[in-house]
Each structure stands twice: as structure tokens, then as C-alpha cells.
Chain A
Amino acid sequence: MGDKLRAVLRLLGLYARMDLNWVLQDFKAALIIICAEIINNLTAVSGILLLAVRFGGAGGLSTDEILLMLGFFELSDGLCYMLFGGFNVLHISRRIGRGQVDHMLIQPRPLMVQLLTEGFMPVSGSGGFLIGILLTALAWTRLHLEVTLLRLFLLLLYMLCHILLMLGQSFLLGSAAFRSPVVSEELSTLILDLNGQLGRFPLFGLPRWLLGILYTALPVGLLAYLPSLALLGRVTGAVLALPVCIAAAFMLAAACCFRAGLRRYLQYSCNRYKEMGHRR
């Protein structure tokens, strides 16, 4: 276990260096990409924020509370992107469907270690995370939230849950690429985009059945809305554990499906004899 951890840290260092080199090689182009990502993230939050400013809050949350929710979303999503955004780890269906698993299988490293490290891009992929820090800190200050150990623990825990929920969904749907690459890629991209769009919305006032779906099967409510309510102290008790349970369930399902898919891959390899073919 210690060896594996050391290997992970060493490889994270390697990919961080490669990312930095990539940025320095063509600094202007890299700067444009990073700025575009920051603008993209600001645009994504501005719609809801402007609505909240115009109407003095939205979805049962005040403007500053909305800002905290948006900040939390950007913080978690930015971290997820920074850790797994590179080389399509977060969009694993693309890796599988385009026959890139072979490249992974010829490396003398466990696939888990490869997947944990290859996507790391702390320099070029940090735009969203930086915006998240900024917005969260701003909201935290404006709301005069006390920094307690519990609140910090919840913040970190829900950030982890956010990442696991994104990875879980991506790998669950992406595993279908072992069987049907094009369909899986389309579906996976759609669901990840949907998470990005709906995850920033406050869900107060929705019918219970819909809220149930958005807290479980399509867990967009667990990405930022419920965690921000928890940070504000608006929810207590068993509900606090819901993001952890759902994230664990998604990861478990994703791990099972990915393993099954990998077994299938060893049986059929590329999709030469497959109906829908695959993209190159």
C-alpha cells in the first residue's frame, strides 16, 4: 500500500511537470486556454447569480448563499477537472471507445494507479478551481460563516463526494463503451454536461419525487445544493450522509461495470467486429 501511494505521488509529480512544460512550451496559447476556461466558468455561474441579485435570492437561498453554492460547485468541479481532466480520464468513454485502453495495458502499472494520476493538470486545468476558491472565500466572508472544524470537514468531505459522483457517473456510463462505444460516448458526455448545468441550480421548492431523483439516480442535487445547505447549517441528521452514500454507490457500481467491461475488452479487444464501430 505504501509503495502504491509513493508510486501515485511520484506519477502525480511527473504529470504535474509535464503539464507545466506544456504551458511553458507555448505560453501564449496556454494562457488563452486558461483564460477561456476561467471565462467559461464565470459565465456558467453568472446566469444564476444575476437572477439571485435581481430578485434578492433564488430557490430559497439568499444572494450570498447562492454565491456560496456556486463557489462550492466551482471549487469541487474545478478540483475534479484539475485532478482528472487531462487525457480524458474524466471522459473515460472516449479512452475506451477510441481503443486507447491498449496503451494503458502495456504499462507496468495497475490501471487504478494510471487512472488516478494521468489526468492531473495542476497548471493548465486550474482555472475553475481558482474561481471556486475566490467565490467561496467571498461568499464565506459575506455570510460571516464561522470557520469550524466541522464545517471544514464537511467542505472537504462534500468536495470529495462531488468528485466521486462525477467519476462514478463517468465510469458507470463510460464502461458501456466496452460494448457500444459511440452510444456510450454520447450518453456520457450528455450526462456530465447535465451535471455541470443542473448542479449549479438551487432545488428548493421542487416536488419531492423530482428531488428524490435529483438526490439519487441523477444526483445533481448532491453536487453543490445539498452540500451548501449543510455548510449553512440548514440541514442536519442523516441527510448529511446522503452525498457520501450515493457517491459510494455510484463508485461501487462503476467499479463493477468497469471490471466487467475490461473482462469483455480482453475477449474482444478493439471493436473491429462490432456493429456500431468506434471513432478514431
Chain B
Amino acid sequence: MNADHECVVSLAHVTKYFDQSRPVSLLKREHSRIYALNDVSFTLRRGEFAAYAGPNGAGKSTTFKLLAGLLRAQQGQVKIFGADPCVKRIEVMRRTGVLFGNRSELWWDHPVRASFEWKKAVWDIPDDVYRSNVNRLKELLDLKPLWNTFSRELSLGQRMRADLALTLLHAPELVLLDEPTLGLDVLAKRRMIDSLKLANQELGVTLMVTSHDMDDLAEMANRLILINRGRLAFDGSYDGLLQMTGDHRLVRLITSAKSPVPEGLTLLERSGDRYTYRYDGTKIPSPQLFALLAGIPGIRDIQMEPENIETVIAGLYRKWSSETSRGDVSH
């Protein structure tokens, strides 16, 4: 494997399906083929921070398992650092950190410290690297108070922090995080996001993160890969996504008058004298919007903001689910 390989992750026309057989009556079974991934291609270059999102059952975890060498694709090529992770598992895992949010790599019946010492031995981390990384991660993720606590006694948020630190302990070049903000409170989430951004910006770690919290993803990652029913639905920047879906913005008015709905704006909500409208920023430029609002009498306050990315993506998911059912399920 070439250490200077610019392309850290590469999926080329990857298809992964599972055959399923279900009893429909006492003697009859129904066979189906579920495409977790269908002809998916993308690459991640060194230092990129990509958010990998999609509705439930879209194929996110399958992708992560393929990347971590826990699954083999039926078609196409999966490469990490230019090598097949199933074939060169040991070499790939030395340079990769994997964290599945619903699982823990911590040793349950031991203090947090013991899991780090365990990882040092199993990953062959040199003493000086270990000491410096442990100190940095303890500081970054506020692990000092937890250091001698039994893993089984940690709260979910504390466990996630300890697990993330453990994932980063061997200074991996690539980190795959499946739902790392799962169950975290606001402060813990902030810490997690900051430490991931820091790892990406200062250490040049390539990161790929899944989460259902789109705002978290938007804050962390500079690239968004959306997957839907096993197919790549979008790959680009958040700005690119907004261009595709429309640059939806919100205007909130407080007015004493009964507010009409100006042309081009959609009334989303009314509560007493408070009105919330949505409009497409690409169709209604700001001067035109101000002119429209000037026509509304009795305005006491105006607030304008871009629509929450989560709402944008929820709209996309709704659109996808209402589309004709996919043709890739054969009975």
C-alpha cells in the first residue's frame, strides 16, 4: 500500500445485496433480494470530512461495513488506501479507526484506562505516541474524570466520548464513525464535534461520519454524500445541495395587521400576530423580498434565516419515499 496515496477511500460501482426468504404461509415462502447498495461509486481524498446520510435502511451501515472489511461486495471494488480491506485487513486496520455508535470497544468490566492500555498492546502503539495521544485525547474529550471509572458505569454520552478517544488513540489516517453523536447531550455533542473538526483540520485525518442529525453533519463536514435505497442520491457541498433543492429561507414577521400572503412566499405557520413564511432565495432576491414585505402594514419585527438543513433533507426524504417504489426488489 502506498502511504502517500491521495485517494483514501474508493468505491467503484459497488453493489451489495442480501437475499431474503420469508414464510408467507405454512408451506409457501417468498424470496426477495434487497439491494443495500446498488452501483455506488465515490472517492474520499486525504483530509476530507464527509457526511454520509440517508433515511433508515438507505445502506449507510452496509457501506461502513464494506469499508471496514466486515462485508464483501458482490460487484464492484472497495478500496481503502488502495487496498481491498477484506484482503489487507490488518494493514488497513492499523491506519483506520472504526466506531459504530451502537457498539462499544471498551472493556466492560474494566476501568476506561484499561481499554486504552489494551489498545496500546493490540495495536502496537509506541510508548511515546501513546503517552502524547492519551494526554491530548483526555484533554480534548474531558476524559480525566472518567479515567478510572468502570466502563459499565459510564453514561451513554461518557461512553461515546471514551469510545471516540479509543478510536483516535492510534492516530488513524481514516476514521469511520457510524452515529457518533447518538444519545449525546448538547455539551457532549459540542465536544465531540469540536474534537472531530480538530482531528480533521489539525491532524489531517480523513473522516466519514453518518448521523441522523443533519445539523450536526452540516456543522462538521464539508462534503455531503446522500444515499437513498442503496443508490447515491447526492454528492457535493451543502451549498450544492441547496442549489439542487432550492435555497429555502424563512421569514418571520410580527405584525398587528392581518397579514396577507405575498406572492412567491408560502405561509408555514401563524400563531397570533406571528407569521412564518418560506421562500426560495434563488427566485426572490433580497431587494424584491424587502419590497414585498414593505407592502404589509403594521410590521413590528422581521427575522430572516436560511431554512434548517434538517428540514431541507427531511423534505428530500419525503420526496424520495413518495416516489414510485424502486424496481430493484424482485419477487
Contact B90 A269 (CB under 8 A): no
Contact A110 B18 (CB under 8 A): no
B1 at interface by CB-CB < 8 Å? no
Give the distance in Å from the alpha carbon of A269 to the alpha carbon of B163 in the complex.
22
Specify which chain B residues have a CB less than 8 angstroms from the CB of A18 in the assembled complex.
107, 110, 114, 118
Determine, out of A89-97, A100-108, A133-141, the stretch whose residues face the partner at the interface: A100-108
Contact A269 B71 (CB under 8 A): yes
B30 at interface by CB-CB < 8 Å? no
Contact B65 A269 (CB under 8 A): yes
Contact A109 B90 (CB under 8 A): yes
Please report which residues of chain A, range 252-268, place their CB below 8 angstroms from some CB of chain B when the two chains form the complex.
266-268
Give the distance in Å from the alpha carbon of A142 to the alpha carbon of B68 in the complex.
58
Contact A272 B18 (CB under 8 A): yes
Contact A107 B121 (CB under 8 A): no
SS class, residues of chain A in contact with chain B: helix
A273 at interface by CB-CB < 8 Å? yes
Contact B72 A107 (CB under 8 A): no
Q: Which residue of A lies closest to B34 (CB)?
A: A273
Contact B68 A106 (CB under 8 A): yes
Please report which residues of chain A, range 16-73, place their CB below 8 angstroms from some CB of chain B when the two chains form the complex.
18, 21-22, 25
Shortest A29–chain B CB gap in Å is 10
Mask, A101-139, CB within 8 Å of B = 1, is 011011111100000000000000000000000000000
Contact A102 B20 (CB under 8 A): no
Contact B20 A273 (CB under 8 A): yes
Please report which residues of chain B, range 101-138, place their CB below 8 angstroms from some CB of chain A when the two chains form the complex.
103, 105, 107, 109-111, 114, 117-118, 121-124
Give the distance in Å from the alpha carbon of A103 to the alpha carbon of B110 in the complex.
17
Contact A11 B121 (CB under 8 A): yes
Give the distance in Å from the alpha carbon of A275 to the alpha carbon of B20 in the complex.
8
Shortest A163–chain B CB gap in Å is 24
Specify which chain A residues have a CB less than 8 angstroms from the CB of B86 in the assembled complex.
266
B174 at interface by CB-CB < 8 Å? no
Which of B65, B90, B105, B121 contacts A110 (CB under 8 A)? B90
SS class, residues of chain B in contact with chain A: mixed
A14 at interface by CB-CB < 8 Å? yes
Specify which chain B residues have a CB less than 8 angstroms from the CB of A14 in the assembled complex.
117-118, 121-122
Mask, B12-52, CB within 8 Å of A = 1, is 00000011110000000000001000000000000000000
Give the distance in Å from the alpha carbon of A277 to the alpha carbon of B71 in the complex.
18
Given A18-B107, A21-B110, is A108 in contact with B90 using a C-beta cutoff of 8 Å? yes
Contact A22 B71 (CB under 8 A): no
Which of A21, A269, A272 contacts B70 (CB under 8 A)? A269
A279 at interface by CB-CB < 8 Å? no
Specify which chain A residues have a CB less than 8 angstroms from the CB of B124 in the assembled complex.
108
Specify which chain B residues have a CB less than 8 angstroms from the CB of A102 in the assembled complex.
65, 68, 70, 100, 103
Give the distance in Å from the alpha carbon of A268 to the alpha carbon of B34 in the complex.
12
B299 at interface by CB-CB < 8 Å? no
Shortest A153–chain B CB gap in Å is 34
Q: Which residue of B lies closest to A101 (CB)?
A: B70
Contact A275 B21 (CB under 8 A): yes
Which of A21, A25, A106, A267 contacts B93 (CB under 8 A)? A106
Q: Which residue of B lies closest to A118 (CB)?
A: B122
Specify which chain B residues have a CB less than 8 angstroms from the CB of A105 in the assembled complex.
68-70, 89, 93
Specify which chain A residues have a CB less than 8 angstroms from the CB of B103 in the assembled complex.
102-103
Contact B93 A108 (CB under 8 A): yes
Specify which chain A residues have a CB less than 8 angstroms from the CB of B96 in the assembled complex.
106
Specify which chain A residues have a CB less than 8 angstroms from the CB of B109 in the assembled complex.
22
Give the distance in Å from the alpha carbon of A196 to the alpha carbon of B233 in the complex.
57
Contact A267 B72 (CB under 8 A): yes
Contact A103 B105 (CB under 8 A): yes
Which of B19, B98, B117, B150 contacts A106 (CB under 8 A)? B98
Q: Which residue of A lies closest to B100 (CB)?
A: A102
Give the distance in Å from the alpha carbon of A136 to the alpha carbon of B212 in the complex.
61
Give the distance in Å from the alpha carbon of A266 to the alpha carbon of B18 in the complex.
12
B94 at interface by CB-CB < 8 Å? yes
Please report which residues of chain B, range 74-110, place their CB below 8 angstroms from some CB of chain A when the two chains form the complex.
86, 89-91, 93-94, 96, 98, 100, 103, 105, 107, 109-110
Shortest A123–chain B CB gap in Å is 14
Shortest B29–chain A CB gap in Å is 10
Q: Which residue of B lies closest to A114 (CB)?
A: B122
Specify which chain A residues have a CB less than 8 angstroms from the CB of B111 in the assembled complex.
25
Mask, B255-272, CB within 8 Å of A = 1, is 000000000000000000
Give the distance in Å from the alpha carbon of A109 to the alpha carbon of B103 in the complex.
20
Give the distance in Å from the alpha carbon of A260 to the alpha carbon of B117 in the complex.
33
Contact A109 B122 (CB under 8 A): yes
Shortest A239–chain B CB gap in Å is 43
Instruction: For the complex of A and B, list the 8 residue pairs with the smallest distance between their C-beta atoms, beginning with the closest.
Output: A108-B93, A266-B72, A273-B18, A108-B94, A14-B121, A108-B90, A273-B20, A269-B71
18 A–B contacts from the bound complex (CB under 8 Å): A11-B121, A18-B114, A22-B109, A102-B103, A103-B103, A105-B68, A105-B69, A105-B70, A105-B89, A105-B93, A106-B93, A106-B96, A106-B105, A108-B122, A108-B123, A269-B65, A269-B71, A273-B19
Binding site for B on A (CB under 8 A): 10-11, 14, 18, 21-22, 25, 102-103, 105-110, 266-269, 272-273, 275
Extra pairs beyond A18-B118, A266-B72, A273-B20 (4, CB < 8 Å): A21-B110, A22-B109, A106-B93, A266-B70
